[in-house]
């Protein structure tokens, strides 16, 4: 089977790797994905952008890439889109228009329930199989929509969970994100925060950064241990400060108490705050509020990301309650999704 894959984000490729292990057939990937999984048409590092402003700067590049993917769709058996709705939904429409009988599977759906709810009917009409990773997501779709809750992919990749916590916080993990803009904004705060807390700290740095990039983005790291293994570091740490993104949900499921910190470009934040009407930005908080009626961890955004506020939140943190909430969240999500997605792809 030849499968056209569109997986632009690092997190999408982590889940794609788990999925590939579950595929029974000899499946060839073509399209956009990590080079460890085959021969992609583009280097994923060129797709690492942050916010609306960066998208505008590279819009011609993405239009060209989109057209290239539509051409590739002609010679594949099926199409698999993962996350990245800004790129993948227009791609799906173009593929369906040119090749009406080509089966399109969308895994990790656009968060249309959070913003742009008008996309939901478009998704239901355009996509042949909608694979939801959020238990509540199908409630927002028409009853006849081809949507199925398949489980959450992080439960395929997380191998260790915290069943108990140390009495004291002796080690802290700092995750300032994977995009350069995120890192530059958070690192000055994290460096000063580590000095204030005076607790052994590890900074988690993506593997793909060169030494020159690390020096430019992170500044002086003499007070930190350096790690490239996020999962291992989170499991071994007692607490974490994490930029928003998939890592916050991973930490919630592992059971490591943490605080979300995020600073966007002012224009990006202005646009997003008017498009997205949510009380939280962390996916764990969004989900936990759905079934428990409250958040699971603190969030600090924009000008609230200060050393003083983060330190105060750390000192008053109820870590025992967080651990109980973490176990409840795992129960809510039930299981991983790779086996289910593999079955969906291989269905004739």
287-319 residue pLDDT tens: 899 889 999 999 999 899 999 999 999 999 999
- What are the pLDDT digits (tens) for 134-162? 999 999 999 999 999 999 999 998 989 99
Same domain, 199 and 324: yes
Same domain, 86 and 175: no
Residue 84's domain is classified under what CATH number?
3.40.50.1440
Residue 319's domain is classified under what CATH number?
3.40.50.2000
Same domain, 111 and 220: no
pLDDT at 48 over 70: no
Three-class secondary structure assignment of 161-223: CCCCCCCCCCEEEEECCCCHHHHHHHHHHHHHHHHHHCCEEEEECCCCCCHHHHHHHHCCCCC
pLDDT of residue 44: 87
pLDDT of residue 115: 67
Q: How many domains does the chain have?
A: 2
CA distances to 20, 134, 341 from 156, in Å: 12, 15, 12
Same domain, 205 and 237: yes
Same domain, 244 and 305: yes
Same domain, 253 and 125: no
pLDDT of residue 234: 95
Is the CA virtual torsion 140, 141, 144, 148 positive or negative? Answer: negative
Residue range 156-169: mean pLDDT, rounded: 92
Same domain, 187 and 329: yes
Same domain, 138 and 225: no
Domain span at residue 38 reads 2-149
Q: How many CB atoms lie within 10 A of CB 347?
A: 10
Residue 166, domain member (yes or no): no
Domain boundary among 119, 149, 179: 149
Residue 255, domain member (yes or no): yes
pLDDT of residue 53: 53
Same domain, 175 and 319: yes
Residue 345, domain member (yes or no): no
Choose between 10 and 198: higher pLDDT.
198
């Amino acid at each position: 089977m030849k499968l056209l894959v569109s997986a632009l984000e690092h997190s999408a490729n982590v889940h794609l790797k788990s999925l590939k292990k579950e595929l029974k057939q000899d499946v060839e990937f073509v399209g956009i994905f990590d080079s460890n999984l085959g021969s992609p048409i583009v280097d994923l590092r060129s797709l690492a952008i942050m916010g609306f402003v960066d998208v505008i700067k590279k819009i011609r590049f993405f239009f060209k890439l989109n057209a290239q993917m539509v051409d590739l769709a002609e010679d594949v058996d099926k199409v698999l889109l993962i996350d990245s709705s800004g790129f993948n939904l227009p791609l799906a429409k173009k593929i369906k228009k040119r090749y009406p009988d080509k089966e399109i599977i969308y895994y990790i759906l656009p968060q249309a329930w959070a913003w742009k709810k008008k996309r939901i009917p478009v998704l239901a009409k355009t996509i042949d199989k909608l694979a939801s990773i959020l238990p509540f997501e199908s409630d927002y779709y028409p009853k006849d929509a081809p949507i199925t809750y398949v489980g959450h992919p992080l439960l395929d990749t997380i191998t260790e969970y915290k069943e108990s916590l140390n009495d004291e916080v002796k080690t802290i993990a700092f995750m300032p994100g994977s995009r350069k803009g995120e890192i530059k904004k958070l690192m000055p705060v994290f460096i000063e925060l580590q000095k204030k807390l005076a607790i052994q700290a590890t900074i988690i740095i993506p593997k793909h950064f060169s030494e020159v990039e690390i020096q430019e983005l992170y500044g002086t790291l003499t007070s930190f241990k350096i790690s490239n293994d996020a999962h291992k570091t989170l499991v071994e740490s007692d607490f974490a400060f994490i930029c928003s993104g998939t890592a916050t949900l991973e930490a919630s499921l592992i059971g490591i108490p943490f605080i979300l910190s995020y600073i966007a470009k002012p224009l990006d934040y202005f646009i997003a705050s008017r498009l997205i009407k949510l009380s939280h930005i962390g996916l764990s908080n969004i989900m936990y509020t759905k079934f428990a009626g409250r958040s699971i961890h603190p969030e600090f955004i924009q000008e609230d990301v200060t050393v003083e506020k983060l330190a105060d939140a750390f000192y008053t943190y109820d870590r025992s309650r967080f651990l109980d909430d973490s176990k409840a969240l795992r129960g809510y999500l039930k299981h991983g999704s790779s086996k289910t997605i593999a079955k969906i792809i291989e269905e004739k």
